[in-house]
Amino acid sequence: MMAASETGSEELRPIAGIDRLIHEPARLMIMAYLYVVESADFLFLMRQTGLTAGNLSSHTSKLAAAGYLEVVKEFVDRKPHTMLRLTDTGRDAFQEYRVGMMQVLR
Amino acid sequence: MPATIDLPEIEKEVYRDSQQDGLMEFMMGLILMTFGGFFYSPIFVFYILLIVFSGKIVESVRRRYTYPRIGVVKFREENPKDALTGVFLFELAVIVIIFTLLSISGDVQDYSLWVNWAPLFFGMILVGPFAHAASRSGSVRYYGYAILSMILGLLFSLIEFGSGCTGLILYLVIIGGFLVLGGLVIFVCFLRKYPLPETEVHDGSK
């Protein structure tokens, strides 16, 4: 009985390694969209994810603070324009998250 | 949260979304029409200028009309080596097919035979970019353009037009005109579907 329980917890242990920052649904969407492109701006991400400006800003700030996301400021027609893109760390973290989730959920 | 995160499908969806303004069709059509005009009256400089500046023209129109409505997305550049290999293999296949067709239908050294079949040749070449756009976006309309360019190419090759490059010119003007008109309709629908946001979206950063 004891052995079975230990085996069960062994199998579920990878769950503890899942990146909680990415696991949150809104951030997962942001990461997935940015993973397939080079970069995107705030409006584009808002439309794709369906998040409000406030929500998106809050989530992107968390991802940027973790070093997963880079905020690139540029000027377009003399107006400031912000592009968001995943850093190499962010790409690796997202890839690890995918592999981890595939191991956990079969 | 979606049940599955299908990254290739998301990439297609994003590409489709970014191309929904119809400007690529419009510009491609304009280039084809100008190319048709070039055979009629060699306005070579204008044609070269249009090709050289087509990217910049599309980008400047997008900055004014598209980006304020749907935002900006930049895609990762394809590996130029893979792209060139793909283009080379595709063009080689087109040349082999055309050469085989001409060998079957007559003397390959006959210049008029090449001129007659030029619309089909161009139609087959056009299949390349359309098929590429279709596979990248998963959009049916690009497959439609590819099929149309082939069918029209075949049709204009089979019809007798008398002298010179008339068939080819008509083919380029008609397929180009179709793309220009199609692009314009898509663009107008796009403008109506996405009115300018009343307030400018701010990213919340300082």
Q: Please give the tally of structural domains in chain A.
A: 1
Among all residues of chain B, which has the CA nearest to that of A42? B203
B64: pLDDT confidence band, cut at 50, 70 and 90?
A: very high
B44 CB-contact burial (10 Å; exposed 0-12 / middle 13-18 / buried 19+): exposed
Each domain of chain B, given as residue ranges in start order, spans: 8-193
CA distances from A54 to A42, A85, A94, B31, B204 (A): 11, 18, 23, 43, 7
Whether the pLDDT of residue B157 is over 80: the answer is yes
Residue A24 in domain: yes
pLDDT tens figures, A24-71: 999 999 999 999 999 999 999 999 999 999 999 999 999 999 999 998
Residue A31 in domain: yes
Mutate to test the interface with A, among B73, B76, B77, B198 (most CBs of A within 10 A): B73
Answer whether B168's CB lies under 8 Å from B32's CB.
no
Distance, in Å, from the CA atom of B155 to the CA atom of B22, rounded to the nearest integer, reads 26
Assigned token pair, B73: 């997305």
Specify the CATH number for the domain of residue A50.
Answer: 1.10.10.10
Residue A1 in domain: no
Residues of A in contact with B10 (CB under 8 A): 32-33, 36
pLDDT tens figures, B85-109: 877 788 788 888 877 877 777 777 7
What is the CB neighbour count within 10 angstroms for residue B93? 12
B2: pLDDT confidence band, cut at 50, 70 and 90?
A: very low
* Chain mean pLDDT for chain B: 84
Rounded to 5 degrees, what are φ and ψ at A74? -140, 165
A1: pLDDT confidence band, cut at 50, 70 and 90?
A: very low
Answer whether B192's CB lies under 8 Å from B22's CB.
no
pTM for the whole thing? 0.81
CB-based contact A82 B205, cutoff 8 Å: yes
Whether the pLDDT of residue A4 is over 50: the answer is no
pLDDT tens figures, B178-197: 999 999 999 999 999 999 87
Q: What is the pLDDT of residue B60?
A: 92
Residue A9 in domain: no
Q: What is the pLDDT of residue B116?
A: 82
Among all residues of chain B, which has the CA nearest to that of A85? B74
Question: Averaged over B133-157, what is the pLDDT?
Answer: 90
CB-based contact A41 B72, cutoff 8 Å: yes
Assigned token pair, B59: 């980008």
pLDDT tens figures, A92-105: 999 999 888 887 77
